Amino acid sequence: MAYNKKVHMLRRLERKLLLRVAAYLFIGTGVLFLEHPDSGRELFTAVVIITCIYFALNQFWNYVHFAGDPYMLSLIFVLCSTSLILLYRLNPIYAARQFLWFIVGLTALAVSSKINYRKLADYKYLYAAGGALLLLLPVFFGAERGGAKSWLQIGSITIQTSEFVKILLVLFLASYLSQKSTELVREKQSFKGFKLPSLEEWGPLLMMLGISLIFLVFQKDLGATLIFYGTFLAMLYISTAKLSYIIMGSLLFLIGGSATYFIFDHVKMRVETWINPLQYAETAGYQVIQSLLAFGYGGLTGAGLGEGFPHFIPAVHTDFIFAAAAEELGLAGALALLMVYILLIYLGFKIAARARDNFSKLLAAGFTSLMALQIFIIIGGTTKLLPLTGVTLPFLSYGGSSLVSNCIIVGLLMNISSTRI
């Protein structure tokens, strides 16, 4: 049958790409093994298991005739491989823990790629309530790390709740806007030449946004706030195609941004270290300066895996993993990783453009804008293009919550891409 034949072709292409990544991963493992021959056995076992899981997922999709996008899984695999190799090189304990999260994340990806995601459109107020709850819990029961209070401790594992709130936010906005976008486009009142939709349609949206912003101010998690707000604006624009939302939203953001600059000292500090980090080289600017030095030391083809000095950068395994990658793999490696991210974002928007109904379109576009913003903000932060706000780099940074939530996002994107009819 034509349909099954097409699925087999897609999965065969996926297998081919996965093989390329497996070769990359095994060479990287070989380098690490030659450097430390005594402790390489565990790493080798982990790498074999990870590779087997990816191929098993490919076989599973082939078996159930899943017609999802053939490129996405291999792009995730190349990022995860790089992550595993870099983390092992930084500290084998990080790699061991991340390895377990890879298994959890891939299970989440497999599940979210096969669920009937259109049913998700029906629970929009549950998402709003769940998101508010997840943001509220760390305020009262959370642990503070690096100036941001957004971790929740359950037993021995800590969960960064804002990573999962992201998903709920996009789910909420997609289901809300897909039902209400026609009303948002309809112009009812005009205000000094600008035509505005009435407050009934705006109300719940503004409330949702206001709540999340208030919580994030309490949690001091600036990066997450920026991502939430950016995603909100992007999805509003995608569903209504009205530029006035973007202009008004950006103006509001400018006002809010300058207000936080004058109210909160830690925001002021961030901006000042961004403009002139050398002035605070021993204190607040230390991290960014070490990151910039790492980029410089990397040169064109890098110091070589295991030859750099990434440990000078604080939080190198989470927010600053891109600096470690640039130091050891050089400009060449950093650009290749950027290309992988660009391809991922391109694929996401392509899936959104091809999706058939409004909910799927908005969901795919929302998740993709979310991921794109997050990548831009943290890579911009490590390269001093933007003031530093601590967010994780999807699939590359150490961190279970980030990995699992991004795996769910990619699983849903693949799920949307599989329903071509």
Instruction: Check residue 13 for interaction with other proteins (CB under 8 A).
Output: yes
What's the CA gap between 42 and 32, in Å, rounded? 12
Q: Which stretch binds other proteins (CB under 8 A): 197-205, 224-232, 241-249, 351-359?
A: 351-359
Instruction: Give the amino acid at 205.
Output: L
The least CB distance from residue 152 to other proteins, in Å, is: 35
Q: List the one residue from 358, 369, 397, 401 that touches other proteins (CB under 8 A).
A: 358
Distance of CA 344 to the CA centre of its chain: 11
Reported for 56-64, long-range contacts at CB under 8 A and 24+ positions apart, including other chains, are 57/106, 57/109, 57/110, 58/11, 58/14, 58/15, 58/18, 60/110, 61/11, 61/14, 61/113, 62/7, 62/8, 62/11, 64/114
Instruction: Measure the CA angle with vertex 257, ends 378 and 265; round to 5°.
Output: 85
Residues 289-328: x where in contact with other proteins by CB under 8 A, - otherwise, as a string? ------------xx-xx-----------------------
Beta bridge partners of 152: 142, 159
The residue among 17 and 352 lying less far from other proteins, judged by its C-beta, is 17
> Binding string to other proteins for residues 75 to 104, with x set by CB under 8 A, is what?
x--x---x----------------------
The distance between the two most distant Cα atoms of the chain, rounded to a whole number of Å, is: 73
User: Closer CB to other proteins, residue 64 or residue 207?
Assistant: 64
| 158 near other proteins (CB under 8 A) | no
C-alpha count within 13 angstroms, C-beta hemisphere, residue 328: 23
Token pair 């098993």 in the structure block, residue: 56
**Considering the rule CB under 8 A, would residue 357 count as an interface residue with other proteins?**
yes
Asked if residue 71 binds other proteins (CB under 8 A), the reply is yes
- Residue choice 23, 64, 278, 385 for contact with other proteins (CB under 8 A): 23
28 binds other proteins (CB under 8 A): yes
Measured distance between the N- and C-terminal CA atoms of the chain, rounded to whole angstroms: 16
Residue pair 321/295 in contact (Cβ under 8 Å)? The answer is: no
Q: Which of 45, 179, 198, 250 binds other proteins (CB under 8 A)?
A: 179
Residues within the interface to other proteins (CB under 8 A): 2-3, 13, 16-17, 20-21, 23-24, 27-28, 30-31, 34-35, 70-71, 74-75, 78, 82, 116, 118, 178-179, 182, 301-302, 304-305, 329-330, 332-333, 336-337, 339-340, 343, 347, 356-358, 419-421
